[in-house]
Amino acid sequence: MVIMRILVVEDEHKIANALKQGLEQHSYAVDVAYDGDSGLTMAQTEPYDLIILDRMLPGSIDGIGILQAIRKENIHTPVLLLTAKDKVLDRAHGLNAGADDYLVKPFAFVELIARVRALLRRTPQTTNTFLTYEDLMLDPENMLVERKGQRIDLTAKEFALLEYFMRHNERILAKDLLMQHVWNYDADILPNTVEVYVGYLRNKIDKPFKGQHFIHTKRGFGYYFGVQK
C-alpha cells in the first residue's frame, strides 16, 4: 500500500496537532507547518498528495498567498482550505485562488476526513505512473520493482524507502529526513534502523547487478540515490 502524504499548514498548534494525530490514525503520513513561510517552502519542495491549508496565518504569506504561489508554479496538489469566516465572498475568493474545497471552522473531524478522502479519490494520483531511474523501474500501484527487467521482491518498508529515494533522486538525503518520511508514525524506530534498511535495499537492488550502484553513503550526512557524478 502506498502511503498518502498530507501537509497541514495551521498556526494554531492545538488544531494542527489534533489534525496530525487524527490523520495519522487513518494511515496518512502528515507533516505540519505552523506558519505561512515554512508552509510555502514545504509545499514547493515536497511531493504531497494533499495540502490542508489554513487561511489566516502568521508570517509574510497567508493561506491564499500560498495557494496562489503554488498554482502559479503549476503545482496542482489538491488543497483543502480552512477558513474561520463563513462569508460567501470568502468562499469564492478561496476557490478562485485555486482551492479544491474548503471547510469552515470549527469543523468536526469526521467531516474533514470525508473531504480528505473525496479529494484524494478525485485527483489522479501521481502514484499511478511508473517511476524509472536508469535501468530500475518501480510501479507504486502494484508494488512492483524491476532492474534490468528482472523482478525484485521487497518488503513494504524497503519498497517505501526505494520509492522515496527514486522520487528524490540525485540529491543528498539526510537520515533524519528519511526517518521522518518513510517511518513517519512508527514509534519504535531505532537510531540504526535507516542504515539497516538501506543495507537490505542495497543487497537487493545494487549488489546482484553488475555495473552502476545507485545507493551511496554520504558519511555524516545521509544518502545519495543515483548515478555518481
Angle of CA points 117, 21, 30, to nearest 5°: 65
Out of 7, 11, 98, 158, the only residue in the binding site for Ca ion (CB under 5 A) is: 11
CB of 12 to Ca ion, least distance (A): 6
Which amino acid, 130? Answer: F
> Going by C-beta distance under 8 Å and a sequence separation of 6 or more, which residues neighbour residue 111?
103
> Is 100 one of the binding residues for Ca ion (CB under 5 A)?
no
Nearer to Ca ion, 11 or 158 (CB): 11
Q: What nine digits make up the cell of 153? A: 521482491
CA atoms within 13 Å, Cβ hemisphere of 155: 8
Residue 199: CB minimum distance to Ca ion, A: 44
Site for Ca ion in 35-54 (CB under 5 A): 54
56 makes contact with Ca ion (CB under 5 A)? yes
- Give the binding range for Ca ion (CB under 5 A) out of 4-12, 31-39, 99-107, 125-133: 4-12
Minimum CB separation of residue 129 from Ca ion in Å reads: 35
- Give the nearer residue to Ca ion in terms of CB position, either 60 or 192: 60
Q: Which is nearer to Ca ion, 49 or 54 (CB)?
A: 54
